[in-house]
Structure 1
């Protein structure tokens, strides 16, 4: 295959003829390709799958992480151990393309690999690697670990994605109409494009930006002098950078730069669009911010047999299938923890990235109610936790480990490791209740509940991210009604959410499952139906063309 004058290797649908290059630090396309950490990757993977289904003229640009994000294993006492294992992928093609970019005033060799569309049914994906014998060891490590904890390495990774990705596109001769940045990690591409197009206006014509961060503190910022020293700005002086980006202090804010270089930006839920406009409204010169709600690929995630039983109105097969899915997932629980869960028992699952604001352990804030719920024999409950904390986020790791120690006291509580695409799907199939309790409004989208609903789980959530657009309380899921969070302390917010959650579990959700299962089944079906089209990533991929690219 000739990669020097590259075109997407399938007939594109006319309405999606515009050429797009989609940049992301991580892509969760399929379990065997471990180059993702969490939600951002799950989203990007679903986007590529839908772009392929819809025959869009889009290619992905990412990085081939030699050790992935990290492998989640256990210490002797079952607590979390972070390990880094080399990954090898025989299904990636070597494009034969090799080129250099400057990082830290030093030429670094880059090699491009290719994931062909038919391998995993995704749009074409190009992955960059610096792990080459031509590079010194420091340069080789740029593509070793996703989101490396070393600041200089991380900045180098951003340069690789942005500048390296933009240069790769020139090497391919792809000439995209649109450069789409999924989060601001790749904004160094704007400085490369500025050298290429010779005008900010031209760069703006080509650049669109998706922000995933609902709070200012969460946006990546790095010392502007460090960025300059590392060749982030493609030869521009700091004064020129300040003039171009309007950034006057010493912290280079990647998202702010992206909002000023893009012609259009979007938040990832209607609520997040509002939060983002509010957050950035005092900054001059930023592009309009709209919103396109995140979604997940139905064809990849959904349990087709449950959908078929639902369409056939075959409740026996529907219940039987859900029970089978639970039973199969509980084999993993038994294998990892030695606990045998019962598929007839109401199962609550909390599984996603471990981060403080997501409050993994919220149910344990009131141990009296927690114990009472777990001890009930009349209406028993099982709980599973899983998820990966960032490898140097010590508060999140200790939260994970505390849950591991806690789980040892109960035969109906389990904490699992290895939360990647494969386990994620199994746990959504295991769940009767998919618990999601971030502090409002800190979750930009929180897409895991979408794929949970596609597998017969009922969402129970705080009213954040995509949830206000989805949950019709008591009809297709359950939502903790918003309080006046803005005027509450964090402690008061936690207290309110905790008590409301327990009131709803004790008085509504658990009794409903055991006493009115026909109603419960109807809630599952309503959720499956409502998530099917509105939150399938085909809708989202279409909206990007419709709203952002044209």
Structure 2
């Protein structure tokens, strides 16, 4: 077994990436068999670790081994959504032999560290923490049971496991990072361990960087100061001192604000999100420079290499044959789940990602007359697939999912899938001709699913938000809902405007191009595939983090 007490990354490092980095994230989507992620944050951190491996960077991941994962998305008898939790076991994880304690609610809780070796899934080293140990009482064991537990105290304990537990593990490993990178603010409790380790806020700031993914101040995690103090969140530092260090008055602790005030540098996850973040935090004092590094996805994991080969060889018929094969293969999974056998020669629209209110999964169905006409169009036939996981306690999002299930029963060319994880995500991207993305602007910080859709021969159709603002060339590599003056519009007016534009572009541009100008369609695909693999591939992103965030200069 590897000796984990004097740990170093177990492969030869590239000179440009020798600086030691510890990357904290609540979730990592590394590969389908390791179910410790919920959505975009995990997909992003998974691609980051894969690119760190490909570039031979001196970076290790710190996460949590979720015993029951996020949840397993199954169905009730009437096909509606049923969240279930099954115990996961992983023979490919190594037992480090490391056990240590953190204090939660004034009580010691045992923590065990597991290790995902780089060669297992071609990713940077990843250490995963668990409290599911016989030495702990049942309540302590449950800290690492369910990703994003709905119980407030449990969620705080999970953040402590990641932050305090992760920082303590790094001491035990003797990895001694030059940079502690918080991917979102879940791990911000690490700063209270680092305060005691290094002795001053300035010393912590010299080593800490922070990536925010939240484009609205209200969306940032906040908890009551007294509850956090009672739960030992501040690692023995008196509450008055914490308030002084974080510059927060009152009774509410803002996790992102604390992360910003302890970081030497911060970043948003797209150009637009960087602008939104700077605007959002501009009235707060003691905020570091907020730059942006646009999220990206890993080509070697996500892209269909044969599509790219046919494109580069200018073999159009080979390309079309391959795309048809990919669609047909994916449609077998859809048929197995739903009984709907879709046609590989029909324009296929896919909406698939996390179900959340602002992402508006059902937007295209809100004018039922128009939707019905679209689905019954015999000149330009269309088929639509929905998939994605709502948060299991978000009953509004679950209701939208279930409405779509009931709607799909009226159409042979509409399907709603469950089990939206890495494998189904990849298959549905391969199945799609149009990757539909219609969040309310500017609510989407980045939104990377369209990148991997492009890597699999699909055209993005999106509102003008997140990463797409840096990519889109309407009618050339994608289709874009032209932005309106949303700031002056009500939510209802915004939704109506966007929905009408969706239909107009679908009916007047997308369908005629797909069916009547196949060469133009193919050129759009090719342009999108080339351009997404240029700037929106995660090796560029992982390199930029070293250049822009990890280097103190």
Q: CA deviation at 1:52?
A: 0.1
Indicate the RMSD between aligned Cα atoms, in angstroms: 0.4
Q: What is the CA–CA distance in structure 2 between the aligned matches of 1:33 and 1:211, rounded to whole Å?
A: 25
Measured in 1, the distance between the counterparts of 2:435 and 2:349 equals 6
Structure 2: how far apart are the matches of 1:533 and 1:179? Answer: 28
In the alignment, which residue of structure 1 is the partner of 2:476? 475
2:535 matched to which residue of 1? 534
Q: CA deviation at 1:217?
A: 1.0
Give the Cα–Cα distance (whole angstroms) in 1 for the partners of residues 158 and 541 of structure 2: 28
Residue by residue over 1:360-417, the C-alpha shift from the partner in whole angstroms, topping out at 9 and shown as x without a partner, is 0000111111000000111100000000000000000000000000100000000000
Report deviation, 1:533: 1.9
- 2:94 matched to which residue of 1? 93
Is 1:430 paired with 2:431?
yes
Structure 1, unaligned runs of 5 or more: none
Which residue of structure 2 lines up, in the alignment, with residue 28 of structure 1?
Answer: 29
> Match for residue 418 of structure 1?
419
Find the counterpart in structure 2 of residue 313 from structure 1: 314
Cross-structure match for 2:253: 252
Pairs within 5 Å for 1:240-319: 240-319=241-320
Aligned positions of 1:105-116 closer than 5 A:
105-116=106-117
Aligned counterpart, 2:513:
512
Q: Find the counterpart in structure 2 of residue 210 from structure 1.
A: 211
Distance 2:436 2:392 in 1: 24
How far apart are 1:249 and its partner, in Å?
Answer: 1.9
Equivalent position of 2:524 in the other structure: 523
Alignment partner, residue 5 of structure 2: 4
| Residue number in structure 1 paired with 2:199 | 198
Q: Hey, what's the Cα distance between the residues in 2 that align with 1:31 and 1:463?
A: 30
Distance 1:465 1:545 in 2: 22
User: In the alignment, which residue of structure 2 is the partner of 1:48?
Assistant: 49
What residue in structure 2 maps to residue 102 of structure 1?
103
Give the CA deviation at 1:170.
Answer: 0.3
Q: Secondary structure at the match of 1:107?
A: strand
Scaled by the length of structure 2, the TM-score of the pair is 0.99
Shift of 1:237: 1.4
| 1:87-486 equivalence runs, <5 A | 87-486=88-487
C-alpha distance in structure 2 between counterparts of 1:118 and 1:331, whole Å: 31
Q: Secondary structure of 2:441's partner?
A: coil
- Could you give the per-residue CA deviations for residues 269-328 of structure 1, whole angstroms, max 9, x where no partner exists? 000000000000001111110000000000100000000000000000000000000000
**Alignment partners' CA distance in 1, 2:31 and 2:220:** 27
Structure-2 separation of matches of 1:348 and 1:101:
48
Distance 2:349 2:136 in 1: 49
* C-alpha distance in 2 between matches for 1:190 and 1:287: 16
Q: Give 1:508 deviation, angstroms.
A: 0.5
Q: Secondary structure at the match of 2:291?
A: strand
Q: Equivalents in 2 of 1:213, 1:95: separation in Å?
A: 34
Please report how far the alpha carbon of residue 250 of structure 1 lies from its aligned counterpart in structure 2 after TM superposition.
Answer: 1.1
Unaligned runs of 5+ in 2: none
Secondary structure (helix, strand or coil) at the match of 2:549 reads helix
For 1:136 and 1:30, how far apart are their aligned partners in 2?
31
SS at 1:56 equivalent: coil
User: How far is the alpha carbon of 1:333 from its aligned partner?
Assistant: 1.0
Cα deviation for residue 348 of structure 1 reads 0.2
Give the whole-Å Cα distance in 2 for the aligned partners of 1:35 and 1:225.
Answer: 30
Aligned equivalents of 2:528, 2:534: Cα separation in 1: 11
- SS of residue paired to 1:466: helix
Q: CA offset at residue 514 of structure 1?
A: 0.4
Count of aligned residue pairs for this structure pair: 550
Q: Residues of 1 paired with 2:265 and 2:369: CA distance?
A: 50
Q: TM-score, normalised by structure 1?
A: 1.00
Structure 2 SS opposite 1:541 = helix
